[in-house]
Amino acid sequence: MVITIGAMIGAGKSSLAKLVGEYYGTDVFYESVDDNPILPLFYTASDEEIQEKRYPFLLQLYFLDTRFKSIKKALTNDNNVLDRSIYEDWYFAKVNKDLGRISDLEFNIYENLLDNMLEELDELPKKAPDLMIYLTGSFETILKRINNRGRGYELDEGLVSYYRTLWEGYDNWIEQHYNASEVLTISIDEYDYVNNEEDAKKVLQLIDNKLQEIRG
C-alpha cells in the first residue's frame, strides 16, 4: 500500500508520516524543506523582491521536481508513505496565482509540466496512492503548530494572511478536486498523535480500518 499524507502547512504531516512509517515498517519520503534553498527566500522576501525574483514560481518548480522524484520511487516500490505528494502542488500554485504572486503565463507553464509528469505516472506499475490521509483542523491550531515548530522564516506576522488564504480553501480542494485515491480525514483538533499515545493508537486504528475497507 502507498499512503500519502496531505495537509495545510504546520498541521503535522511529517510527524504522522513518521508514526505511520514506523507502524507499518515502510519507507517514508519526506517533503524537501530543510535542504530547500528557495523556501526561506519565499517566506522572507518583500513584495518587490517576489515580483523581481519570482520566488513563488521557482519554489513551485522546485517542489514539483522533488515530489515527482519521490512519488516515482514510492509507486515503483510498494509499501511507502509520502509526506505530501505531487497532487497537492497544484493547489499551492493556484493560491499563489490568485494572490498575484505567480503570473498567468507562469501558471500555464507549471500546469503543462505537472500534466506531463502525471501522464508519466500512468506508465508506472502502480499509478496512484491507495490512500490519502488528510489532516484538517482549526486555523488557531494550525498557527499554534507553526509557532511551536519554530522555523524562523515561517513566524513573521505578515505571513498570517497567506496561511489563512491557504487554510480557507484546503478542505474544499480535497473534497472537490482531489480524486487520485481514497481519502481518510483526521482532525488535528481531536487527535494529538504527537503528544498523546492514546490518540496515536486511535489514529493508527482509523488508518488500519480504512485500509481494510479499501482492500475489501
> 65, 83, 156, 208: which one is catalytic?
83
- Closest by CA to 83, choosing from 166, 21, 176, 151, is 21
DSSP SS3 for 133: strand
CB 29 within 8 A of CB 107: no
DSSP 63: H
Q: Measure the CA angle with vertex 8, ends 95 and 53; round to 5°.
A: 45
**What does the alpha-carbon distance between residue 21 and residue 29 come to, in Å, rounded to a whole number?**
10
The end-to-end CA distance of the chain, in Å, is: 13
208 is catalytic: no
Which amino acid, residue 176?
Q
**What does the alpha-carbon distance between residue 101 and residue 200 come to, in Å, rounded to a whole number?**
38
Instruction: Copy the grid coordinates of residue 81.
Output: 508513505
List, as one string, the DSSP characters of 176-204.
Answer: HT--SSEEEEEETTT--TTT-HHHHHHHH
Sheet of 80-83, strands arranged across: 27-29, 80-83, 2-7, 131-136, 182-187
- Any idea which residues carry the catalytic annotation? 83
